[in-house]
Structure 1
């Protein structure tokens, strides 16, 4: 997981809201946009979809609407295919708005293309279509506070490559009270999930921190050296900036251990993971680090 310097929320989020012609989902707990037809076929994990659903609880789903508010651990294997920037118990009846639109507007496509030139220069990506869904200052179910979250999912294509961009503004809560969260803090219980699920046993991905307390800090992370932004190729699934090991992200050049006893050391190089049997060096301890484990050198005590 890479943590970099702060961008302004306005920098990481693409334009949204009434001025952009956005539609809104119903302001209700566990609501959805209903089926939204698309003017193109969007390829997600090798399957083409002509419609989608924007769900209040932080998901864009393809095969069915999703009203579930407590996130399950991936993979979900009964055909549920979705992109989730932040699957948690949103209640926009208590606060906030969920916006969405399909767009071929030149200014937006130009901005996306310019960003992809920075993030994925070898792809030579020129956007021809985009779908933007934004959860703007949304509250959590059972909230007894003014804590709000703002995040965004953007689907885009140039006709050859299919990209998902997840953007994070201000994230202040992780959990609704029906998921055993604290009504005052919006934390605890079963925290939000972020990533992708294809509906089968093998094609899924967790953004670091998912379903842990660390997801509260997701807006400080990135895989493209731009705080608050994660970018993925989702037709033939690829995660720029690192490797995928058992559906979790390892940063390019990172060494990590795969289990809590630190007996197998892996390295991410050129987008591929290689592993060897190796324990922690002497005078170090095996400790959790993001989605994996690391060997931390013990500090020497002075006498």
Structure 2
């Protein structure tokens, strides 16, 4: 169990509806109050309530009609994920979830966690364009999407102003499902309860990115997960867009390899 945090040391980051442009369009899909997003509670290790979704989402052969957005960088099916120190995949307990950046987020200290489901035509058109570019042999027109964004979120025990901004978009045409993971700014990898340094947010057991199907055999660990190199996930990709990873998830498929190998930062002596 974590010790209580007596003093709030960070100021929440400013809400942004789009991230800085990468190439011809922003990396992140629009989010925030202007998009009528909901927010998870300001609660360490908290989550949304169980959220019914209007269009069933197939994740490795299982059809899901609800989900949770967890503050610690996870979208889960069936149950909340309050755990703050990530375990390696595959998990043996049958939990089924997407982990855009599973680490010890503390949005009490800073940042917001936004989410919404949508059938808004402009966004679905943009998602369709992206999927068609990355998977040209799969006919696909997005009918539904769920977008969750962790906006400049702090880490537990932080004594710095560092924040991470990343996003997960789930989308389906009712038959084929995809997950798009976007990493705009990653400045920390671990909270103090996971052994991290309170000033740098590094060391200990770093964050984990990928997904776990729950069947103990279908899973994926994005390179660098649970190592110091995860801090550079904004530079890697499986679709040749730095900071973006995209997966077909209605059945087990993994596409591509990193366009750039993650590197462990040089200044590591203060983490040990």
- TM-score for both structures, normalised by structure 1: 0.77
> 1:9 and 1:16, CA in 2 relative to 1: closer, same or farther beyond 3 A?
farther
Question: 2: CA distance between counterparts of 1:48 and 1:213?
Answer: 35
Q: Which runs of 5+ in 2 are unaligned?
A: 1-20, 264-272
Q: CA deviation at 1:8?
A: 7.0
Q: CA deviation at 1:186?
A: 0.2
Q: Secondary structure at the match of 1:231?
A: strand
Counterparts of 1:47-66 in structure 2 under 5 Å?
47-66=62-81
**Larger fraction in strand:** 1
Q: CA deviation at 1:79?
A: 1.7
Counterparts of 1:1-303 in structure 2 under 5 Å?
7=22, 11-242=26-257
Larger radius of gyration: 1
Question: 2: CA distance between counterparts of 1:9 and 1:35?
Answer: 36
Question: 1: CA distance between counterparts of 2:180 and 2:190?
Answer: 23
Q: CA RMSD in A?
A: 1.8
Question: 2: CA distance between counterparts of 1:235 and 1:124?
Answer: 14
> Size of the alignment, in residue pairs?
242
Q: CA deviation at 1:75?
A: 1.1
Q: CA deviation at 1:123?
A: 1.3
Question: 2: CA distance between counterparts of 1:135 and 1:89?
Answer: 12
> 1:53 and 1:69, CA in 2 relative to 1: closer, same or farther beyond 3 A?
same
- TM-score for both structures, normalised by structure 2: 0.86
Q: Secondary structure at the match of 1:40?
A: strand
Question: 1: CA distance between counterparts of 2:51 and 2:199?
Answer: 35
Question: 2: CA distance between counterparts of 1:28 and 1:101?
Answer: 19
Q: Secondary structure at the match of 2:50?
A: strand
Question: 1: CA distance between counterparts of 2:61 and 2:216?
Answer: 15
Q: Which runs of 5+ in 1 are unaligned?
A: 1-5, 243-249, 252-288, 292-303
